[in-house]
Amino acid sequence: MTTTAEELALVEEPPFRVPRDRADLHLFLQAALTLEHLTIPPYLTAMYTLRPGTNRPAFYAVRAVVLEEMLHMALVANVLNAVDGRPLVAHSRFVTGYPARLPYSKDRVPVALRHFGIEALETFLRIERPEYVAGPPGHPSVADDEGWTSIGQFYNTIGVGLRRLAAELGEAELFRGDPARQAGPEHFYNSGGEIFPVTDLASALEALRVITEQGEGADRTVFNSDDRVFGEVREPAHYFRFDEIRRQRTYGPYDTPASGPTGPALDVDWAGAYPIDPRAKVADYPAGSEVRRAADRFNVEYAGLLCVLEDAFTGHPEALGRAVPRMPALRELAGRLCRNQHPDPARRERGLYASATYEITEEHFARARGGDVPSR
C-alpha cells in the first residue's frame, strides 16, 4: 500500500490477468480478502458516529452489511484454504490506510472514514454499485484495457482461474487444502447467510456467487440470493440497502433497480450524527489526552479483532465465535471518541468531533497478542 500526492492510499492489485497457477490464485484470493476488509472500517465509522437514539433503521441496516462483509471474508478465506493457501489478516500490510482509492475501478473514487450522512452513503453506493461485468483479461472485449475496471470483473476473473486450474491440475489436486481449516455454519451465523465449507470447484464458485450477489443483487434484481442459497428470506443487496437510506424509502417485493424503492418511507435524521474529520489521525490528538488514549486503545482492540479472525482462518475456525462479541467494545471506544469535540481549535470551530482512525501498526498487533486490550 502506497500513498499518492493527493494522499489517497493505494491498495495493491494483482496483475491484470487470469490466475496462471496456484501461487497466482493465492495472490488473487488474498487480494480479495483485503478488498472485503477495505469496506468494514468506513461502514463501522458511519455506524459508530450515529448519535444515541437516532436513525435506528439505518444503524441496523449498516450493521447487517458489516456482518455480511465479515461473512464474505470468511468465505474468501475458505476458498484460499481449500486451494492450500494461507490467509494473512493480522498484519499491518493487510490494513488499508484511509482515505483510500477504491481498487478495481476505472474511476478515482476516494473511500474515506466519514460520519453517517449523504457523503458517506454516496461512497458506499459507489463501492457496491452493480456494474456490467467486463470479460476477464485476455477476452477480446477488453483487449484495449490495461487494468481492472470493476470489482465484479475481478471476482469473475478469479472464477475463470478456478475453472481453468481445476481442468489443468484436476479438481482433487487443486482443492487439496486441509478440510480442518474450513469454517462452517457451526462457527458463525447471522441472519444474512452462513459460512459453508469449500471443498471443490462447485462450492468455491458458490462462495464467490454469494459474495457478489449479496453486494450487487442477483440476476440484475434488487435482492440477494439468500432465499435460494440459504433458505432464508431474501433481502435487498448491499447497494439497495444503502439506496433505501439515501432515498428514505424501502424497496417493495416487486421493485426493480429501474423502478427504485416504492415501499414505506424510511425515517432518516441527517443531523443525527457526530461530524468528524475524514482524514483524522491519532497524531492530531494531544499526547497524554483522554482522546489520544481512546484512539490508541481502539486501534489495539481492532488489531485484536483481526488477530481473532486470522486465528480462525488459519486452523482454528471455532475462534470465529469470539469475533462478533468484540464488536461492542469497539463501539464503546468509538462512542467515547465521538462524544469529545475535536481537540484542534480550527476543527472544533467547524463543529467536528474526535473519531477512530484505524491506523493499525505492528505495535498494535503485538499489544493485542500480549493481552493489552481495554478494560471492560
In a domain, 260, yes or no: no
Whole-number pLDDT of residue 8: 87
199, part of any domain: yes
What pLDDT, on a 0 to 100 scale, did the predictor assign at position 373? Answer: 54
Within a domain: 15: yes
Asked, for residue 321, whether it belongs to a domain, the answer is no
pLDDT band at 64 (very low <50, low <70, confident <90, very high): very high
Mean pLDDT across 39-68: 95
For the record, the C-alpha cell of 24 comes out as 497466482
Q: What is the pLDDT of residue 376?
A: 35
pLDDT for the residue 252? 94
Distance CA 358, CA 355 (A): 10
Structural domain containing residue 72: 2-253
Evaluate whether residue 322 is within a structural domain: no
Tens of pLDDT, residue by residue over 123-153, are 999 999 887 777 889 888 888 888 999 898 9
Cα dihedral 21, 309, 245, 276 sign: negative
- For 50-74, what is the mean pLDDT? 94
Question: Which cell numbers hold the place of 342?
Answer: 475535536
Give the mean model confidence (pLDDT) for residues 323-333.
88
* 138 within some domain: yes
- 63 domain residue, yes or no: yes
What CATH number does residue 170 fall under? 1.20.1260.10
**Would you say residue 353 lies in a domain?**
no
How much is the mean pLDDT over the chain? Answer: 91
Instruction: Supply φ then ψ for residue 103, to 5 degrees.
Output: -75, 165
Number of domains in the chain: 1
pLDDT in tens, 149-195: 989 899 999 999 999 999 999 999 999 999 999 999 888 766 556 89
Q: Is the pLDDT of residue 5 over 50?
A: no
d(CA 322, CA 368): 14
54-68 average pLDDT score: 94
Stated pTM of the model: 0.93
Q: What is the pLDDT of residue 1?
A: 47
Three-state secondary structure of the chain: CEECCCCCEECCCCCCCCCCCHHHHHHHHHHHHHHHHHCHHHHHHHHHCECCCCCHHHHHHHHHHHHHHHHHHHHHHHHHHHCCCCCCCCCCCCCCCCCEECCCCCCCCEECCCCCCHHHHHHHHHHHCCCCCCCCCCCHHHCCCCCCCCHHHHHHHHHHHHHHHHHHHCHHHHCCCCHHHCCCCCCCEECCEECCCCCCHHHHHHHHHHHHHHHHCCCCCCECCHHHHCCCCCCECHHHHHHHHHHCECCCCCCCCCCCCCCCECCCCCCCECCECCCCCHHHCCCCCHHHHHHHHHHHHHHHHHHHHHHHHCCCHHHHHHCHHHHHHHHHHHHHHHCCECCCHHHHHCCCECCCCCCCCHHHHHHHHCCCCCCC
Q: With 60 as the cut, is the pLDDT of residue 271 above it?
A: yes
Give the pLDDT of residue 279: 93
Q: What integer pLDDT is reported at residue 374 of this predicted model?
A: 47
Cell of 286: 494531544
